[in-house]
Amino acid sequence: MGKFAADVSALVNKSKDRIRRVATDAIQDVMDAAQQPQLGITKGATSFVVGKIPVAEGELRGSLRAELLGGGAAIGPDSYAVVLAGYEVGMNMKFTWTAPHALPMELGFTARNGRQVPGRFFVGANAARFSEFVASRVAEVNAL
Amino acid sequence: MNEQDIANALQQRLVSANIAPVVFENPNANANHARPFLFVQHVTTDRVDLSLAGGHVIARGFMSVTAVIAEGTFANQAMALLDQVSALFPKCLRLTITGGVITIPQPARIMQGFQYKADYRRGVHVFYDASAVLNAVIT
């Protein structure tokens, strides 16, 4: 291979590495934020913030199933980090909180007394920040 | 341009359409409402200012609208309500607010429905980008 071709090949590989790094870091930022715990109301908390996962017994946080479509899957609070290690650009990933109360906690629900309990949006609020995380990681990679 | 103006503009558009009774997060969330109704929550996700001089804030987030229908009724009732909500906020819709403009950057996203206690609930996220009017910054 001539020097020019070798240089182009090296540049392409370097770009691929940088794209992969931005993608995995930004996805991990979303998941880190989504799995950021806050004390559940049933455990004595008097308030909550949107964008953090409520933790009483840890069942919801621990119910996370991370799957690399066509690849492996893992279950547990840190499962996304395990699966992200095998991620290559172009692959699809799926993250599922499998606890039965995951959607009520995300979007809100009706309490026994009829009160509307607001959602925590631990998934939606952080997924919506993906482009913000990407921009931050791109700036980080460009600074290298 | 503040977050209250953004929430008010989006929620007023929803209420004016009279799709179903609207229940808000704090003022009337404690009552036991007859089904169906729409439960509205305002979720902020990002607030940035990329201008050197400041004063050009871009606020992002979404309005979450959950259709709550009674247990034992067909779930497509919730879907029909959310389709109407989605149609109210098409991509590129612009709403003028004090000191800025709200733009709907993408079609509303209807979420998975679920049954919980005596409700069937299905949500839609209406995403927004709100930016301060640029000429107000320049002048």
ipTM of the complex: 0.86
- Give B-chain residues touching A110 at CB under 8 angstroms: 68, 116-119
Q: Is the pLDDT of residue B138 over 80?
A: no
Query: Higher confidence at residue A134 or residue A112?
Result: A134
Residues 6+ apart with CB under 8 A from B49: B55, B56, B57, B58
List the single best residue of B24, B62, B116 to mutate versus A (max A Cβ within 10 A): B116
CB of B32 within 8 Å of any CB in chain A? yes
Q: Specify the pLDDT at position A47.
A: 83
- At residue A108, the pLDDT reads 95
At B135 the pLDDT is 55
Distance CA B35, CA A110 (A): 12
Q: How far is B137 from chain A (nearest CA, A)?
A: 23
Q: What is the mean pLDDT of residues A13-21?
A: 91
A36 vs A41: CA distance, rounded Å: 16
Q: Give the C-alpha separation, A133 to A121, whole Å.
A: 17
- Kindly report the length of chain A: 144
Alpha helix stretches (DSSP H) within chain A: 3-34, 59-62, 79-84, 102-107, 124-127, 130-142
Q: Flag if A107 and B32 touch (Cβ within 8 Å).
A: no
Instruction: Please determine, for residue B12, whether its predicted confidence score (pLDDT) is greater than 90.
Output: yes
Interface of A with B (CB under 8 A): 50-51, 101, 103-104, 107-110, 112-116, 118-119, 121, 124-126, 128-129, 132
Confidence of residue A70 (pLDDT cuts 50, 70, 90): confident
Q: Residue A84: is its pLDDT beyond 80?
A: yes
The minimal CB distance from B43 to the residues A104, A114, A121 is found for: A121
How large a percentage of chain B has pLDDT more than 70?
96
| pLDDT single digits (tens) A30-68 | 999 999 999 988 888 888 889 999 999 899 999 999 999
Q: Is the peptide bond prior to A37 cis by the omega test (within 30 degrees of 0)?
A: no
Residues of A in contact with B61 (CB under 8 A): 125, 128
pLDDT at B1: 86
Looking at the complex, report in whole angstroms how far the Cα of residue A49 sits from the nearest Cα belonging to chain B. 11
Q: What is the C-alpha separation between A52 and A47, in angstroms, rounded?
A: 12
CB contact under 8 A, A124 and B62: yes
Compute and round to an integer the Cα radius of gyration of chain B. Answer: 17
| Mean of per-residue pLDDT scores for chain B | 92
Interchain CB distance below 8 Å, B25 and A129: no
In this prediction, what percent of chain A has a pLDDT beyond 70? 99
Question: Mind telling me how many Å the CA of A86 is from chain B's nearest CA?
Answer: 28
| pLDDT above 90 (res A13) | no
Tens of pLDDT, residues A97-129 = 999 999 999 999 999 888 999 999 999 999 999
Read off the pLDDT of residues B28-44 as tens digits, 9 standing for 90 and up: 788 889 999 999 999 99
Contacts with A21 (C-beta within 8 Å, 6 or more apart), sequence order: A137, A141
Average pLDDT, chain A: 92
Please tell me the predicted confidence (pLDDT) of residue A76. Answer: 96
pTM for the complete prediction?
0.88
Under DSSP, is residue A42 helix (H, G, I), strand (E, B) or coil? helix
Residue B139 has pLDDT above 50, yes or no: no
Q: Which residues touch A138 (CB under 8 Å, ≥6 apart)?
A: A22
Say which residues have a Cβ less than 8 Å from residue A106's Cβ, sequence separation at least 6: A97, A119, A120, A121, A122, A123, A124
Q: Which of A9, A30, A17, A13 is nearest to A89 (CA)?
A: A17
Q: Is A34 exposed, middle or buried (0-12, 13-18, 19+ CB in 10 A)?
A: buried
Q: Using the 8-state DSSP alphabet, how is residue A43 labeled?
A: G
